[in-house]
Amino acid sequence: GVDLFRLNCSHAAHRLLDDISTIREVEASAGRPIGIVGDLQGPKLRCGILEDTEVVVETGAKFEFDSLHSPGSATRVQLPSEVLEALEPGHVVLVDDGLLRFQVRQVSTTEEGGRVARCWVEHGGVLRSRKGVHAPGVPLRVSALTPKDRKDLDVLLQGGVDWIAMSFVQTASDVEDLRALLPQSVGVISKIETRQALANLDAIIQASDAVMVARGDLGVECAPEKVPFLQKDIISRSMASGKPVIVATQMLESMVRFPVPTRAECTDVANAVLDGCDAVMLSAESAAGSFPHEAISMQASLLREVARQLPKEVAVGVYETMARAAVLVAGDTLPLVCFELDVAQCLSRLRPPTDILFFTDAGGARKATLFRGVTPVEVTRGSTSGLRDLSDRCVV
């Protein structure tokens, strides 16, 4: 079943506390720790409204993005100033998850001081009001934390979430800005979804507690054929730094509408685990799909099967000598036992073929639900009952 729940602040932010309370009730009923990730919306860059519900933009036609707030048409629409001011000739603008593609040919300033980007339509189609806008590879002067994010963050922390996922991360300083608002017990997950994040990947990983391969926006920012290799690279670098990594978006996308996944989707999930990720995340499949229970059951079944097929050797990397020795001593028969979150994370990074038992308080147990191969066991602070006998049968 589920180890962590993600609460998407882009939708139903008004009921965050109710959702958190429900998850804690399920946790108590299940008798095991369940982590909660609060996923901040981040800046949403959208085109302006149109005169009609939708218009058809013809391929090969001329089109303008401007700063006017009047309703748009088949030949122009308003664009957020953060994007418009950054555009230069040669840049590409994508609208509606890349379904419409425009190449900037000329940028000028109007007599009123506004800005106009004159474009050639590379790929036309149906344009609707308030659709998302991307400018791949264009550095934008946009804060990753919006006023809405700060309000949602206050609610999430009030509810006691374990992780905060940050959208639109471009640099390590974005991560530090968020960390300054968090208690030490709450971890930061950086969502890698822009070209700027890829350019600053190592620094972002070092500044974060965990990383998410956000394949939806990443597949818009970069060519789709590059995403599989970007995923492998992000996982590899995260593992080398000892940071957990989540692979997200369209894992079992067909199960939004159908009760079984495609074989390609099953292979995608398996490959993500074989690449070394700590967690795979369902989005629309469980949030808005027609078969949420079946999707979760299928995901869990896939992960169990992959776990049975995993090679038994310990992954090679840069890690602490004592942890390496403990894994070698344990082999594939003795469980590994630890009592510190950092140690649990270190052992998880080694991907040992045996169980890792992490004894901790409720907060530590929930946070460790993200760590691959770690079974968190909640104990009362100061309690050692039964642990001494356990240590005789484990590697501590």
Catalytic annotation, residues? 6, 46, 191, 249
Residues 213, 216: Cα–Cα separation, whole Å: 9
Q: Give, for 389, the enclosing helix (H) or strand (E).
A: helix 387-391
The residue behind tokens 């600053």 is 200
Q: What is the DSSP letter of 46?
A: B
- Backbone phi, then psi, for 21, in 5-degree steps? -60, -40
Give first-to-last CA distance, the chain, whole Å: 28
Judged by DSSP in three states, 253 sits in: helix
The answer to whether 233 and 222 are in contact (CB under 8 A) is no
Q: Closest Cα partner for 280 from 311, 248, 250, 328?
A: 248
Alpha helices in 130-261 (DSSP H): 147-159, 172-179, 195-199, 201-207, 215-221, 227-240
Tokens standing for residue 118: 């004159």
